[in-house]
Structure 1
């Protein structure tokens, strides 16, 4: 039996390693100040912030569940997968995430080149918005658009210039969700589908697709998330009951990059314990 980690638990947050606005240490300190007992760091396709976040968690006395948010693609739809407690040195996972990050970087450069034909923005403007070690992507382009006065904030940038309908943006490489779930499981981790109902039933994966993910080893569904619709949450809870999936809740905190607040949604302690018991790739950091 694993020792119970302190509550409340916020299992989806981002640092400057991906598209958050706080360093891993700053994020952990902010979580402690917000009263979070257990925090998961889940930067996009990267484990680079684990060491700094782990040291900070021990310093401030909260628990840390190292993880990542893995990019996947189902047809034209971007699907994100929260991967907890994976082995960060698993060769297949390391190679796949490196391929995703490289594709995202190449895409970002091409997006900026396209935008520069119509807006006063350069690649140097985008690089200025990221800290060393960060994987440059659309959020940094959005920040550059804001810094240049072209957009009022990230939300406007994503709803306008960085919306696919404007023609500047195109997808980056990502594996299909079932392959990603199997990859996470092979790396000793636990896979939870991130915010699967942001556009309600019409934009969700079909039940048959959910079944494929269950067969591949899917552990849970992130249900309590501010962007999941009410209708979508009801359907997700029915899937969780039907297929024995865990139901998690998280803030998806990005610092100043989004309005999400630390701890606005949390995961019950028994579910946290199930995640820890199901993983053998890494162990939580506990005070």
Structure 2
């Protein structure tokens, strides 16, 4: 079956539900994707696969293809590097152990940040928990939503540009593995790894070609170049490197519901690229419409 016939409609491979920092349940997200005219959507919550079951059931109900995935938090030095992982085995011990460690570190970091912010603004941990559901991977977006709910900032974006910005003095990093380990873990679990929005920090903030080559040797599949936050010059540089190293190029919305201005399907992935992802992914299966 050709890619065009199998994947009727646009393909968006990067979205978030309330399991991480989106504002919709997995079911609501899938319905929104269907209403937006997408034919295929990937659910890629941060460091969690909790939403896969609910999303799968709704995908079958509404008739949309679902690609189970995750956005894996990693760190290179002081820089945060996100890795999209598709079709990996969610029961793999390496993935389970590492993501549990990341989520625990996120939780500890969030509690410490709220304590600092609370000393100046009166924010409480209960305020943050009110912005989550059971099983949520708690992070800075939930603190931002709590700040909005308390009337301390007008929007989540304002929170990140102000109180939650590193210059404000409340920020602290959390544990995350280096990207090389993450790529190896994803491949060992039968998954397909793609660097998420790798050009957001401009040319000066690009990872070195030497590191990119290491990731390719470890099994990196592609680069998410069509993303609203990628800077044009850095994106152009990475397009050259993608061609040099035989990396696929993907495009996605990075949809968060009302948590970000990103809209479903604003950037999409070619059917032949998704075909290649499915051909390589052996840890989990797509849910076909």
Same fold (TM over 0.5): yes
Distance between the aligned counterparts of 2:155 and 2:38, measured in 1? 28
Q: Which residue of 1 aligns with 2:45?
A: 43
Among 199, 202, 224, the alignment partner of 1:200 is 202
Deviation at 1:2, TM superposition (A): 8.2
Among 183, 186, 201, the alignment partner of 2:185 is 183
Judge conservation of contact 1:6–1:62 (CA < 8 Å) in 2.
Answer: no
Q: How many residues align?
A: 287
Q: Which residue of 1 aligns with 2:211?
A: 209
Structure 2: runs of 5+ lacking an equivalent: none
Q: Which runs of 4+ in 1 moved over 6 A?
A: none
| Deviation digits for residues 216-255 of structure 1 (CA, Å, limit 9, x no counterpart) | 1100000000000111111111011000000000000000
Distance between the aligned counterparts of 1:235 and 1:58, measured in 2? 39
Q: Which residue of 2 aligns with 1:121?
A: 123
| Deviation digits for residues 95-149 of structure 1 (CA, Å, limit 9, x no counterpart) | 1000000100010000000101111200000000112221211000000001111
Judge conservation of contact 2:47–2:137 (CA < 8 Å) in 1.
Answer: no
1:89-128 maps to which residues of 2 (within 5 A)?
Answer: 89-128=91-130
Judge conservation of contact 2:27–2:58 (CA < 8 Å) in 1.
Answer: yes
Q: Which residue of 2 aligns with 1:8?
A: 10
Deviation at 1:7, TM superposition (A): 2.9
1:49-198 maps to which residues of 2 (within 5 A)?
Answer: 49-198=51-200
Q: Which residue of 2 aligns with 1:22?
A: 24
Q: CA RMSD in A?
A: 1.0
| Deviation digits for residues 62-81 of structure 1 (CA, Å, limit 9, x no counterpart) | 00000000000000000000
Structure 1: runs of 5+ lacking an equivalent: none
**Please, which moves more after superposition, 183-192 or 125-134?**
125-134
| Deviation digits for residues 132-176 of structure 1 (CA, Å, limit 9, x no counterpart) | 221211000000001111111111111111111212111111000
Judge conservation of contact 1:7–1:269 (CA < 8 Å) in 2.
Answer: no
Deviation at 1:6, TM superposition (A): 2.8
